[in-house]
Every structure is written in structure tokens, then in C-alpha cells.
Amino acid sequence: DGRRVKTWGFSDRGVYKLGDPAYARVMARELHKEGMDIPDGEVSWRLRDPQGSTIREGTGALDDRGGFSVELELPEEGALGYWDLNYTLTIDGDEHGYYQSLPVKAYRAPSFRVDLSAPEAGLPGAELRATANGRYLFGAPMGGAEARWSALIGETSFTPEGRDEYTFGPRF
């Protein structure tokens, strides 16, 4: 009948530590020539560590938005690396897979913050001024701290508002 299922997903952050909670979601849509529908279906999921061992697993159903959420806690002990969260969605009797990678790294939460105030753009040959303010996250200023910086330049183009027929920038 020309129907196919599209799946996609996301997790709540880009990197995790062992022992962290992880929140992930997978979504599905049935695509067809008239558009798309929110499907009904069952979901099974499995979390595997970097060596391929199953650490957690579960089942459930797609919700009324065509999605399924997983809330889990990574173990306190385990291997660092890329953990796999694999889903199997059963929709109208057909199985559809989706895979998410959860990077588990050894990291330390930042102890300071740097705020930069600078213009969004500059012109060639013009002076550009920026101000950086650093502070420890517990509130103390970072007086006398060493700073390193770099600047990047790149080509861009500009189209005046309401004048889509004009573009200024490098030739294509």
C-alpha cells in the first residue's frame, strides 16, 4: 500500500558519566502518499555496554504522539565508551529498528564559566573589541587568570530584508 515507517530519536545530552541518569526517546511516523500518520505499536529496548553485554532492557507501547521514552540509570561501574540503546518497534506486525549511541566518558564538571561579549560581525581592517569575564561557578571572580583565544574568519553573504532579489557576498 506504499506505507513505510520513519523512526528517529534523541537523548537528553551529548555525554554521560557512569552512574548518571539517561533520558532518551524514539519517535515513529507512518508515511504514505497522502501524508503521515501517528502509528500504534509496541516497543522493546535494550541497553548494551561497549563490549556488547546487555545491561538493561524493557518493553512498552508507543504513546499518543507516536513516541516512547526510556528513563534509566547508567551503572556506577562499567566500561567507558559508546553504549548502545537499541529499539525494536512493532507496527502493524512489522519490526522497525532504531539505534542510539550514548557516549559514556570520564569527565569532571566545569568549575568555572567564561562569558564573552563581542559584536556578531566585523568588517575587514576594522578594529574589533570583545570582553571576556570569567568566574568560578561558586561565585568568586577569576582575577589574574591566564586566557588563550583565537579568532576565525570566513566568507558569508547578505540579503537585505525584504529584498530577496539582492545578495551580497562571494560569487558562486
Q: What is the pLDDT along the chain (172 residues), one digit of tens a residue?
A: 678 999 999 999 989 999 999 999 999 999 998 899 999 999 999 999 999 999 999 999 999 999 999 999 999 999 999 999 999 999 999 999 999 999 999 977 778 888 889 888 777 788 888 888 888 888 677 777 888 888 777 777 778 888 888 877 766 4
C-alpha cell at 31: 508515511
Q: E strands of 49-164, at which residues?
A: 54-61, 67-73, 81-91, 94-104, 112-117, 131-136
| pLDDT on residue 1 | 64
Q: Give the number of other CB atoms < 10 A from CB of residue 66.
A: 21
Which residue type does 72 have?
L
Distance CA 51, CA 95 (A): 25
